[in-house]
């Protein structure tokens, strides 16, 4: 049994040997595995380091690109505020602005390019920036800047580019000829246009309206519940409804109104009126110019006109004309009592009727022609009107043949006036409003003036330019024996030579003040007609009875057979006495009466309606030099 321990010892030794071998093998494998892990970690670390450096490069490029875009944005905004159609000042302004923001043009490393053009709507209605053959005036600038930026750690140098397009619309607002005249005429005219509704504002109220202005942005804010410009373009209302809109607009921006309380009081009174008879709805604003809208916006987007100013009185009168357009003629119940300037001691009465053939508009928009057309972007027009004046001259206190006979002379005068037009030809903003300029082109309206038979009913806008006076004769005077009309004096209808259209340009500064060349609108129909009619009357007395003044004794059924028999015997004597008397009355009274009526009725009424006879007065408002806006 002695061998057993030795054997056990050998086995123990062998076991230890095997364990040692296994541990050595394990340790060797472990070391080898550790050496492989360190290599992988090192490789991963190297990749991560390179990636980190690449990220730094990308971040640097991103920041450089962003800074470059800021340079382009600011340069474009600055350049567009110094627009000229030659694109000289925008380039200099863009370069100076970029330099102030740390970007200096340097050869091919740092470059800056400027393109001027128009940001406008295209044929499909979408907005686009046109640089090739853009129709002046230009309103947009595109600035493109480039910079060479290196990769500090990975890759070659790279050229970065940034571009920005900005627009700044120049918007003007104006209307032809509306001026504030005597209060009784304002109340009477507005009452008639509203179908007989009583309007009785005092002079202070009317003056308050004349000195009240609002911005298009104010109108957009209050015209609809949404307060959007699209809402403004779809708004339709009445004269009373427009007065309510204007009341809210004046209240919102009272800084533009000289006497806020007077304007508010007047607008509250007008907003409560209930028009009598049929009235057209008033479309407040339009972009396309195709509809009879109150404000014709000559801009691609209504928001561009936000800062343009319009006058409250002008809007109300033009709106009343739109409401009455195409309706039957209305009578203006105006009293001549207390009016001076009729120029005669003979009793004179007058009735006045007014028909709006087509209404006027107020222009708000940008200057220049629409691209590819001969149509002005922003234009206004006067109303086409038919004005009838029947003056009655009594000679009851002037002895003619005897103390028994007297004359009642009728002078029916009809004025049909075609539209005058004005357009914003050019505008240039400068550092101050006083240094800015506006050039407005004007074409006066045609005027056809008739003495005699009334114009046929149903005159339309299409028939105005081709209009001629009625043919035939008209009753110029009634011969009275006591209170009985025993004879009538007739004459051929007379057409005064047409007042032709003339064109001119008027210059204003940025505040709307005239610079030079503005004509004063007097309309003086009386002075235009007096010499013509006086010579015509004189000629009529010298013509044969078939073509000149004619006397007709009323038939027996009108005056009785006995009186008719007597008149037949006395006809030669009556003709010899009455015709010269009628001629004398007309020759001595017609010119001063026409001149007086022109002073107290016709001229002021036409001025109030914005209608021009041979001359044109433009009422201009401050130029709105648009705030620069990035559009692309």
Q: Is residue 578 included in any domain, yes or no?
A: yes
- Give the Å distances, CA to CA, from 310 to 229, 231, 282, 446, 604: 16, 18, 16, 27, 22
Q: What pLDDT score does 1 carry?
A: 42
Query: Are residues 140 and 214 part of one domain?
Result: no
Closest CA to 394 of 334, 479, 474, 451: 479
Q: Is residue 155 included in any domain, yes or no?
A: yes
Question: What is the CA angle 287-292-298, rounded to 5?
Answer: 25
Query: Are residues 458 and 408 part of one domain?
Result: yes
Within 228-284, where are the H helices? 229-234, 239-252, 260-271
Q: Is residue 5 included in any domain, yes or no?
A: no
Q: What pLDDT score does 402 carry?
A: 46
Query: Are residues 329 and 316 part of one domain?
Result: no
Query: Are residues 348 and 289 part of one domain?
Result: no
Query: Are residues 367 and 225 part of one domain?
Result: no
Query: Are residues 144 and 180 part of one domain?
Result: no
Given its phi and psi angles, is residue 263 left (phi above 0), alpha (psi -120 to 50 degrees) or beta? alpha
Query: Are residues 181 and 103 part of one domain?
Result: no
Q: Which helix (H) or strand (E) holds 168?
A: none
Q: Is residue 13 included in any domain, yes or no?
A: no
Query: Are residues 482 and 368 part of one domain?
Result: yes
- Taking 3-state DSSP, the helix, strand and coil percentages for the chain, each rounded to the nearest 5, stand at 40, 30, 35
Q: Is residue 405 included in any domain, yes or no?
A: yes
Instruction: For residues 60 and 149, give the distance between their C-alpha atoms in angstroms, rounded to a whole number.
Output: 9
Are 609 and 321 in contact by the 8 Å Cβ rule? The answer is yes
* pTM summary value: 0.77
Provide the 3-class DSSP secondary structure of residue 231.
helix
Q: Is residue 51 included in any domain, yes or no?
A: yes
Along the chain (632 residues), what's the average pLDDT of each consecutive run of 10 residues?
49 59 54 56 56 59 86 92 86 92 87 90 73 83 89 70 90 79 79 87 90 92 78 90 94 90 94 86 85 86 87 91 87 60 61 85 88 86 83 65 62 78 87 87 78 66 62 78 75 72 83 71 54 56 59 59 63 68 68 67 76 70 83 84
Q: Is residue 24 included in any domain, yes or no?
A: no
Query: Are residues 302 and 239 part of one domain?
Result: yes
Closest CA to 362 of 378, 347, 346: 378
Report residue 3 as tokens.
Answer: 């061998």
Q: What pLDDT score does 339 carry?
A: 47
Domain ranges, residue 40: 32-168
Query: Are residues 206 and 100 part of one domain?
Result: no
At 3-37, the pLDDT tens digits run 444 445 566 665 565 555 554 554 555 555 555 56
Both ends of the chain: CA-CA distance in Å?
107
Number of domains in the chain: 3
At 386-443, the pLDDT tens digits run 888 787 777 665 555 445 567 777 778 777 777 788 899 988 887 788 888 888 888 8
Final residue before a domain boundary, out of 168, 190, 213: 168
Query: Are residues 396 and 310 part of one domain?
Result: no
């Amino acid at each position: 049994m002695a061998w057993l321990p030795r054997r056990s010892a050998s086995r123990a030794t062998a076991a230890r040997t095997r364990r040692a071998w296994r541990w050595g093998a394990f340790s060797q494998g472990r070391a080898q595995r550790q050496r492989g892990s360190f290599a992988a970690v090192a490789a991963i670390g190297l990749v991560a380091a390179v990636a980190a450096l690449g990220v730094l490069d990308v971040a640097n490029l991103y920041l450089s690109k962003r800074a470059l875009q800021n340079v382009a944005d600011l340069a474009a905004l600055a350049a567009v505020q110094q627009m000229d159609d030659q694109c000289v000042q925008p380039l200099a302004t863009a370069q100076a602005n970029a330099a102030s923001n740390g970007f200096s043009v340097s050869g091919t490393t740092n470059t800056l390019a400027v393109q001027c053009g128009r940001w406008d709507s295209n044929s499909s209605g979408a907005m686009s920036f046109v640089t090739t053959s853009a129709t002046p005036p230009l309103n947009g600038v595109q600035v493109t800047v480039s910079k060479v930026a290196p990769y500090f750690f990975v890759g070659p140098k790279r050229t970065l580019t940034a571009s920005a397009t900005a627009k700044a619309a120049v918007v003007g607002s104006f209307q032809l000829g509306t001026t504030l005249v005597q209060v009784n005429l304002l109340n009477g005219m507005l009452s008639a246009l509203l179908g007989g509704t009583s309007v009785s504002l005092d002079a202070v109220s009317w003056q308050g309206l004349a000195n009240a202005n609002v911005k298009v942005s104010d109108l957009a804010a209050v015209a609809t519940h949404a307060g959007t410009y699209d809402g403004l373009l779809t708004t339709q209302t009445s004269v009373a409804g427009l007065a309510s809109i204007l009341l809210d607009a004046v209240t919102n921006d009272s800084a533009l109104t000289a006497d806020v309380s007077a304007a508010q009081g007047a607008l509250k009174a007008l907003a409560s009126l209930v028009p009598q008879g049929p009235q057209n709805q008033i479309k407040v604003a339009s972009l396309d110019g195709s509809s009879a809208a109150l404000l014709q916006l000559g801009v691609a987007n209504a928001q561009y006109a936000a800062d343009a100013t319009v006058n409250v009185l002008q809007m109300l009168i033009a709106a009343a004309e739109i409401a009455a357009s195409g309706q039957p003629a209305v009578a203006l119940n105006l009293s001549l009592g207390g009016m001076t300037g009729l120029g005669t001691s003979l009793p004179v009465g007058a009735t006045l009727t007014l028909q709006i053939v087509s209404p006027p508009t107020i222009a708000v928009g940008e200057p220049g022609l629409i691209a590819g057309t001969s149509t002005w972007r922003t234009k206004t027009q006067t109303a086409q009107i038919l004005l009838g004046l029947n003056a009655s001259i009594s000679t009851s206190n002037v002895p003619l043949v005897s103390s028994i006979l007297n004359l009642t002379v009728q002078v029916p005068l009809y004025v049909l006036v075609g539209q005058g037009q004005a357009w914003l030809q050019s505008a240039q903003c400068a550092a101050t409003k006083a240094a800015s300029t506006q050039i407005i082109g004007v074409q006066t309206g045609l005027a056809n003036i008739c003495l005699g038979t009334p114009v046929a009913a149903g005159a339309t806008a299409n028939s105005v330019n081709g209009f001629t006076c009625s043919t035939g004769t008209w009753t110029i005077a009634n011969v009275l024996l006591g209170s009985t009309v025993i004879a009538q004096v007739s004459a051929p209808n007379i057409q005064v030579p047409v007042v032709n259209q003339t064109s001119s340009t008027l210059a204003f500064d940025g505040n709307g003040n005239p610079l030079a060349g503005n004509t004063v609108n007097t309309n003086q129909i009386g002075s235009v007609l007096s010499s013509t009619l006086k010579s015509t009357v004189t000629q009529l007395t010298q013509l044969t009875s078939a073509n000149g003044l004619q006397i007709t004794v009323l038939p027996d059924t009108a005056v009785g057979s006995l009186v008719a028999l007597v008149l037949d015997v006395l006809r030669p004597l009556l003709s010899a006495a009455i015709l010269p008397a009628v001629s004398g009355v007309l020759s001595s009274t017609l010119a001063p009466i026409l001149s007086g009526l022109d002073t107290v009725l016709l001229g002021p009424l036409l001025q109030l309606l914005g209608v021009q006879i041979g001359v044109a007065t433009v009422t201009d408002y401050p130029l709105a030099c648009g705030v620069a806006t990035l559009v692309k």
